[in-house]
């Protein structure tokens, strides 16, 4: 009887060991937040839009090469023609950012950016030549 109980105990401990790492791996997964970048213009114009679509591994990695983590899109904007991008970030307070600037700054246009996290507008900005939306002071 003791051998059966001991064997059953070893089986249960072994089963717990098999289940626990899987549960721990799920617990280590970061919670991702839906970040929506929206850029508009009051008149037709071509713009460059820098945005962050991934969380850099560390501040050191980001500061070593910020353009690696900040792609640029060249897009035409105009009334009724916004640029909208949804991304998933683990730490939007630190990394969410969209910046827009005119390709021809001599043109007077009003550019607007909006930053939304999990459906809540957290920052907006307007500018005649560019605009920056971010939760962090860059």
What confidence tens digit (pLDDT) does each residue in 31-65 have?
Answer: 999 999 999 999 999 999 999 999 999 999 999 99
Between CA 96 and CA 134 the distance in angstroms is 6
Block residue for tokens 């508009």: 40
What confidence tens digit (pLDDT) does each residue in 66-108 have?
Answer: 999 999 999 999 999 999 999 999 999 999 999 999 987 767 7
* Residues β-bridged to residue 116: 36, 121
Confidence of residue 117 (pLDDT cuts 50, 70, 90): very high
> Which residues, including other chains, have CB under 8 Å from residue 124's CB and lie 6 or more apart?
112, 113, 114, 115, 133
pTM: 0.77
CATH number for the region 33-134 comes to: 2.60.40
Rounded mean pLDDT, 10-39: 67
Single out the residue of 90, 79, 87 nearest to residue 115, CA to CA: 87
Cβ pair 62, 111 in contact under 8 A = no
CA 91 to chain centre: 7
Decide which of 12 and 87 is more confident: 87
Strand runs (DSSP E) across the chain, as ranges?
Answer: 33-41, 45-51, 72-77, 83-89, 97-102, 111-117, 120-127, 130-134
């Amino acid at each position: 009887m003791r051998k059966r109980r001991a064997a059953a105990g070893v089986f249960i401990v072994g089963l717990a060991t098999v289940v626990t790492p899987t549960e721990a791996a799920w617990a280590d997964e970061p919670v991702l937040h839906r970040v929506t970048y929206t850029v508009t213009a009051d008149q037709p114009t071509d713009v460059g839009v820098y945005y962050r679509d991934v969380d850099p591994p560390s501040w050191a990695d980001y500061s070593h090469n910020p353009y690696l983590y900040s792609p640029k899109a060249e897009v035409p904007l105009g009334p009724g023609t916004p640029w909208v991008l949804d991304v998933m970030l683990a730490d939007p307070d630190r990394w969410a950012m969209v910046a827009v600037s005119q390709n021809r700054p001599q043109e007077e246009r009003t550019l607007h950016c909006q930053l939304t996290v999990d459906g809540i507008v957290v920052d907006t900005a307007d500018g005649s030549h560019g605009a920056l939306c971010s939760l962090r002071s860059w």
